[in-house]
Amino acid sequence: MRILVVEDDPRLGPSLKKGLEKHHYAVDLALDGEDAVLMGTTTPYDLIVLDVLLPRLNGFEVCSQLRNHRRTMPILLLTALGELDHRVTGLDTGADDYLTKPFAFRELEARIRALLRRESTTKTAALCFLDIMLDTRTHEARRGERMIPLNNKEYALLEYLMRHPRQVLSRTMIAEHVWDCETEHLSNVIDVYIRYLRRKLCENHEPDVIHTIRGAGYQLKEPAS
């Protein structure tokens, strides 16, 4: 899942990016409100973590402009402004949740998981497809009783596939939601990671559930009979 963090603090912004990447998210970082609007209207982020006190445009203005552009991704406001009026203003401009600084990173990550569940048809922490289970809280993957060790990108790719079962996902869609803006030449990279993921899912000769749709992309669906 791909997240935009908008934070101008030179220590907190990179720290949030690094911490979320360790939890298997692809993360882009914006340092001011105008860049946030530009990035948020041109990239289909799954969620935005948005500071309020920003240069050029504040977080309330960013949130309002994104909603005016019909961008519907969840927005979590992150700010030192904890007064009731500020919270109400944030929610009224279109934010979905509000977290006051200072905060524990565990709470931030839990709120992100909750907002992503709200957008998904799956409302629990566990994603399931046939005999494959992915726990978004512990980041454990299993097929049947077998634990599957996954690196960050393998996990993120499997999560995206499992959040969209039976949908044909183009390489562009996968790139936009699993990789950040710094990655180049993604078409070949995606194919490589699909092969890695297939190998791990089918290590004990289980049926392959990741189907290649020629000229279109990939699809997680029941094995061919």
For 138-182, the pLDDT digits (tens) are 999 999 999 999 999 999 999 999 999 999 999 999 998 998 876
- Residue 137 sits in a domain whose CATH number is 1.10.10.10
Confidence (pTM): 0.81
For 5-31, the pLDDT digits (tens) are 999 999 999 999 999 999 999 999 999
- Residue 103 sits in a domain whose CATH number is 3.40.50.2300
Do 174 and 155 lie in a common domain? yes
Token match 């949130």: residue?
A: 63
Do 191 and 155 lie in a common domain? yes
**Torsion angle in degrees (nearest 10) through CA of 64, 69, 72, 77:** -30
The count of structural domains within the chain is: 2
Residue 225 lies in a domain: no
181's CB contacts (< 8 A; 6+ apart) are 28, 43
Q: Which domain holds residue 142?
A: 126-220
